[in-house]
Amino acid sequence: MISLKQPARLMRGFVAQASGYLPGTSARFGVPRRFETNTYHWFAGDENESAGRMTCFRGQSRYFHIADESHCHRKAPVYVDAVLAAKTFASLEARRLPRFVASLNSGRVVGSCFGCVVTEDDTLLQDVSLNNEAWCKEVDHRSEHNAFKRFCPPVNLRVDGEGIALNSPFSSNYHHFLLDTLPRLGLCQTAGLDWKAAQAIVTDYRQNRFQDEGFAKLGIDPRRVLRIAPELHLEAKVLHVPSISEPHCREEYVEYSRAGMEFVRSRIRPPLRSKTKSRLLLSRRLAKCRRWLEEEAALPALEAMGFTRIECELLSLEEQARLFGEAEAVIMPHGGGMANCVFCEPGTKVFELFNPLYHPVFMLSLSNVLGLDYHAVAGELIEGDDRHADIGASINVSISPAKMIGLLKNYL
């Protein structure tokens, strides 16, 4: 049977894009009428590049500049298996993205994609409206951005005051909430803004326990947090939009910011109670994927070396922060719990375990910023792994106890 879904999708996209050339505004129908790749250019244009180093205005909207884009060289892992080396060493050169806060008069958030920011003159700002196609790929033309391929609903929620757009991709995921979304509130703090005064904070809010605990640490009432969804189209009298400056899904070439990570540490991690350093085995045995298959077999030897097994899913955000803050060594298969390394002290030894087919380099960046002693350990290929369409969501990790114990004896 021939499916009509693809032709219908293409036709819908064509009609949506065509609506962007009609009179009127996306606040009422269609898609945004303009597209700008860079928020600063919307404020100042190309005439005076140096203006990006100061506060500038466009009408009643304000651009508060915090930091320029810069280049960085990451430190290589203390240990990296040969099968992981090519991608690891190709990722040692990276950049830190510009950091800023745009306060937009009559700014809007459209719930399509990951949440798109639209200005009062109906311009979509790409650098704070990441494309949800091609893994957040930056594009040069509106026709390539997914937000122009579907109709916006008319404005259906108005905030007669301040709103904040935290439209970070995947912010209902523990890792991305902690390391990508919360640092954006640190930018608001630097810009002199009080998030407690905002009547609405828009993000991918799923009422997860860690989201509620994180917001509570910052004094944010969850009742003021709105979930980004396709049917949402919010307009605020003033919409504060902190830049999307942390890696998200661009970890291979975008570096974490030290200020963003320090903001999370200072706001979330409680005072440490013990001067005795612990050793942690972060287990994923309760997860559906990326479990260390030999964990049970290795556990007696690991416990003899002083390791304690923990399941982050069973702990509060504060408990996780304290445990990692008091750790001298951490073993963990790649997963969301690795974000807790933001709470570790410099010099903490981190052993991250990978299936050779799935090797994100978030910890390479994070360890570089935090001064961690990082080791990237690869397991063996497991029969059938290469048949999975979504490798990261399907595979497990197979590393022999002998190999793991041997590495620990060499590097601890």
Task: Give φ, ψ of 11 to 5 degrees.
Answer: -65, -40
Q: What is the pLDDT of residue 51?
A: 46
For residue range 318-371, list pLDDT tens digits in order: 999 999 999 999 999 999 999 999 999 999 999 999 999 999 999 999 999 999
What residue ranges in 278-372 does DSSP mark as E strands? 278-282, 307-310, 327-333, 349-354
Identity of residue 261: M
> Residues 6 or more apart from 96 whose CB is under 8 A from it?
67, 69, 70, 71, 72, 245, 254, 255, 257
Query: Does 124 have pLDDT greater than 50?
Result: yes
Is 52 a residue whose pLDDT tops 60?
A: no
Q: How far is CA 62 from CA 81, 190, 198, 292, in A?
A: 48, 14, 17, 49
Answer yes or no: is pLDDT of 41 > 60.
yes
Give the integer Cα–Cα distance in Å for 328 and 367.
14
Is 157:232 a contact under the CB 8 Å cutoff?
A: yes
Which parts of 54-196 are beta strand (E)? Answer: 56-58, 61-67, 70-73, 79-80, 93-96, 99-105, 108-110, 116-118, 123-125, 157-165
Please give the average per-residue pLDDT across 294-310, as a whole number.
98
Tell me if the domain spanning 273-411 has CATH number 2.60.120. no
Largest CA distance in the chain: 72
Can you give the residue ranges of every domain in the chain? 25-70+96-266, 273-411
Q: Are 376 and 350 in contact (CB under 8 A)?
A: no
Whether the per-residue pLDDT at 98 is higher than 80: the answer is yes
User: Residue 342: CB partners within 8 Å, gap ≥ 6?
Assistant: 178, 179, 261, 264, 265, 324, 366, 370
Burial of 212 (0-12, 13-18, 19+ CB in 10 A): middle
What is the reported pLDDT for 143? 85
The two tokens of residue 399 are 């590393």
Residue 201, H or E segment: strand 200-203
Q: What is the mean pLDDT of residues 96-117?
A: 95
Sheet holding 373-378: strands in order across? Answer: 79-80, 373-378, 349-354, 327-333, 278-282, 307-310
Q: Which of 113, 108, 122, 120 is nearest to 26 (CA)?
A: 122
> What's 287's DSSP letter?
S
Q: Which of 7-11, 41-45, 89-93, 303-307 has the lowest mean pLDDT?
A: 7-11
Which DSSP string do the residues of 219-254 spell out, in sequence order?
Answer: T--GGGEEE--TT-EEEEEEEEEE---S-TT-TTTB
Position 50 confidence tier, pLDDT thresholds 50, 70, 90: very low
Q: Which residue has the higher pLDDT, 133 or 138?
A: 138
